[in-house]
Structure 1
Amino acid sequence: MKKILFISVALITLCGISSCATLFGKKTHALAVSSDPRGAEVYVNGFKMGVTPVELNLKADKSYTIEYRKEGYESVTRVVNTKVGAGWIILDVLGGLIPVIVDAATGNWNKLDQDAVNAALIEQNK
């Protein structure tokens, strides 16, 4: 009987102090990056990450500057920001104050504001 009571109290406590996004949310977000024409080098915050088309897995709690570079074309820059997932907020509020604090402090309820980024590259004048 004491074991069942202990497990019950432990589960209730765990549910009370946990937060939905921290427990169940994805830590990375898939971002499809493409260009016209294809074959542009993709730099994320200054680091080369591949050649278009490419799918990147980026941390969902950061903003990113995506730069496209291709010889003979002008470089293009796009910005990908974060946004708060409204579903996580609702679930956290239903769970009480502590889940809201945990997810807000950790940023785990954030996600990227878009799933895909595309750029039309313009040829340089010679």
Structure 2
Amino acid sequence: MVKRKLTILLMSGIILLTTSCASILTGSKRKVLFESDPSGAKVFVNGFEKGKTPVQIKVAADDQVDFRLDDFRERVVIMDSKFNLVAILNGFSIIGWGVDALTGSLKRVDTKYVKVTLEKDDKTAFLNYMENGQLT
């Protein structure tokens, strides 16, 4: 009788500890290295400035990352994501699947490195030509 209660208690503890496995084990964000050519571009994640390239930032699945540099066109990257296989450890736990879904841990950023090439802004080149008589 005592052994059975101990087994039930132990199994209940294991079930509670393994709920929301993806949230606990991997989290909803991943560190990604961002670079640009030319370097020094400001990096914005969902509208908030996070630094200048090259920079390593934690981002979540489907975050919008903007690269801005004077005299260059703005580049926008949406972070690709894939299913987080660690979530399978939730098994039949509806609570675990729910927690992982609410925290965004069911999807995981698919890359660790992003490099963008920024193009000269035609408007700036035209304005420089009008002001200085030269194309840059």
Question: Given the two structures, how large is their TM-score scaled by the length of structure 1?
Answer: 0.76
- CA gap of 1:23–1:89, structure 2 versus 1, over 3 A, is closer
> What SS does structure 1 have at the residue aligned with 2:35?
strand
Q: 1:111 — aligned with what?
A: 108
Alignment map for 1:91-106 (pairs within 5 Å)? 91-93=89-91, 96-98=92-94, 99-106=96-103
Q: 2:58 — aligned with what?
A: 57
CA deviations on 1:26-72 (whole Å, 9 max, x unpaired) are 343101111001000111111111000000012x3x42111111111
> What SS does structure 2 have at the residue aligned with 1:114?
coil
Q: 1:39 — aligned with what?
A: 40
In the TM superposition, residue 109 of structure 1 has moved relative to its aligned partner by: 3.0
Going by fraction, where is strand more abundant, 1 or 2?
Answer: 1
Distance in 1, Cα, partners of 2:101 & 2:45:
25
Q: Which amino acid aligns with 2:52?
A: V
Alignment map for 1:8-87 (pairs within 5 Å)? 8-17=7-16, 18-58=19-59, 60=60, 62-85=61-84, 87=85
Percent sequence identity over matched residues? 28
Gaps of 5+ in 1: none
Larger RCO (alpha carbons 8 Å, 6+ apart): 1
Matched-pair contact (CA < 8 Å) for 2:28–2:104: no
Larger Rg computed on CA atoms: 2
Question: Given the two structures, how large is their TM-score scaled by the length of structure 2?
Answer: 0.71
Distance in 2, Cα, partners of 1:78 & 1:106:
22
CA deviations on 1:71-106 (whole Å, 9 max, x unpaired) are 111111111143221x2243333xx34344443454
- CA gap of 1:88–1:122, structure 2 versus 1, over 3 A, is same
Gaps of 5+ in 2: 126-136
Q: Which amino acid aligns with 1:118?
A: K
Q: Which amino acid aligns with 1:110?
A: K
